[in-house]
Amino acid sequence: VNTVVLRSDLSGNPTFAELMERVRSVAIEANSNQELPFEKLVEELQPKRMLSYSPVFQVMFDLQEEPRWQLPIRNLEVFPEIVFSSRTSTFDLTLSVRESEAGLDAMFEYDTDLFNETTIERLANHYQTLLEAVAADPDQRISGLPLLTQTERQQLALAQNATPGSYPKEATLHGLFELQVEKDPNAVALVHGGKEISYGDLNRWANQLARKLQALGVTAEARVGLCAGPSPAMVAGML
């Protein structure tokens, strides 16, 4: 089997469908020269050689269609189940995909000096996520295709929002707000509809509303309902 080296062109952020057309064109052109031995290509290119990795490329993708073997026995079909066991990896990473009527089977072969089993399992999950995304919408841009699983996205969201702070146990929301007002009243507290509202302005708004409630007979600890949509008015009412 002669190895054919293909170069992928992702310039211009193409859609997945456009990328497949590019890959198809490159593959057709490369196959027209498939008789050229890979060793001869290496001789012509003269890449920098190192014993630690293969020249020209280090990642192999192998797609094969599973043959169906039929024996002259009525109502009997035989399918090959060939599993190769190897203690060495020719390349840094090889993904072999076998296509059959039942679907696709994939197998990773990897250099254990570079990857561990956990990393490969995560890579396999990312590959599955990618395949599901392009199958659902092949017109997505390459830059927008997801790799993280749903669980990983949730973990990432939790990690990004994990911003603990030490606050006095007796502190209240409006008390902490007023401390910030004293510290920097001109700092931006809210942005709504393109308009910025400072801590000082928001505090004055909240105090005006508090005085109006007091004039209506509302006392401390009394419950007051708020009827407001997502807006600065709702925040002022909460304060």
The pLDDT tens digits along the chain (239 residues) read 677 888 889 999 999 999 999 999 999 988 887 788 878 877 887 877 776 667 788 889 988 876 655 555 566 555 555 555 566 677 889 999 988 888 888 899 999 988 999 999 999 999 999 999 999 999 999 999 999 999 999 998 888 877 776 766 777 888 888 888 999 999 999 888 888 999 999 999 889 888 888 888 888 888 888 888 888 888 888 88
Q: Are 88 and 51 in contact (CB under 8 A)?
A: no
Q: How far apart are CA 105 and CA 103, in angstroms?
A: 7
| CATH assignment at residue 210 | 3.40.50.980
**Number of domain units in the chain:** 2
Are residues 180 and 144 part of one domain? no
Range of the domain at 24: 16-149
Check which CATH number belongs to the domain holding 90 and give it: 3.30.559.30
Domain assignment of residue 1, yes or no: no
- Strand order across the beta sheet in which 93-100 lies: 59-65, 93-100, 103-110
Would the pTM count as exceeding 0.95?
no
